[in-house]
């Protein structure tokens, strides 16, 4: 019954913007923190943005100042606003719970973001 459905990805030029959405089950949003991960071809999945129940946000250095994470609790939806996109942002983006020191054991399909130069 736990689900994660990412959407909003696409192909954009460098400098462009996208807003990703994640429709997730209430179980995911009941966690202390949720976030966005990404995985580029040939690389491991990495956490890029985190949002706690208290509203605190944190970002990987590579996206800081360009990405903004937010959520709509009533809609069980998590968002990632991505501005000033760079080719190195190209990856499949996933939403999931965030627990310090642990990697989630299951994932949704993700949404593809491709940034051309």
Query: What local confidence, expressed as pLDDT, does residue 30 receive?
Result: 87
The total of other beta-carbon atoms located within 10 Å of residue 94's CB is: 23
Tokens of 115: 């940034």
* Residue 93 host element (H or E): strand 91-97
Q: What does residue 42 show for φ and ψ, rounded to 5 degrees?
A: 75, 5
Query: What local confidence, expressed as pLDDT, does residue 8 receive?
Result: 97
Question: Where on the phi/psi map is residue 53: left (φ > 0), alpha (ψ -120 to 50), or beta?
Answer: alpha
Q: How far apart are CA 47 and CA 36, in angstroms?
A: 6
Query: What local confidence, expressed as pLDDT, does residue 29 receive?
Result: 85
pLDDT in tens, the chain (117 residues): 788 999 999 999 999 999 999 998 888 888 999 999 999 999 999 999 999 999 999 999 999 999 999 999 889 999 999 999 999 999 999 999 999 889 999 999 999 999 999
């Amino acid at each position: 019954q736990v689900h994660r459905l990412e959407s909003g990805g696409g192909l954009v030029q460098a400098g462009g913007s996208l807003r990703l959405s994640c429709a997730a089950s209430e179980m995911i949003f009941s966690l202390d923190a949720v976030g966005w991960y990404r995985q580029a071809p040939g690389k491991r999945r990495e956490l890029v943005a985190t949002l706690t129940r208290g509203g605190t946000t944190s970002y990987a250095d590579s996206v800081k100042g360009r990405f903004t994470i937010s959520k709509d609790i009533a809609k069980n939806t998590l968002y990632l606003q991505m501005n000033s996109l760079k080719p190195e942002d190209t990856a499949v983006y996933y939403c999931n719970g965030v627990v310090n020191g642990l990697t989630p054991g299951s994932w949704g399909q993700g949404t593809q973001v491709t940034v051309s130069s």
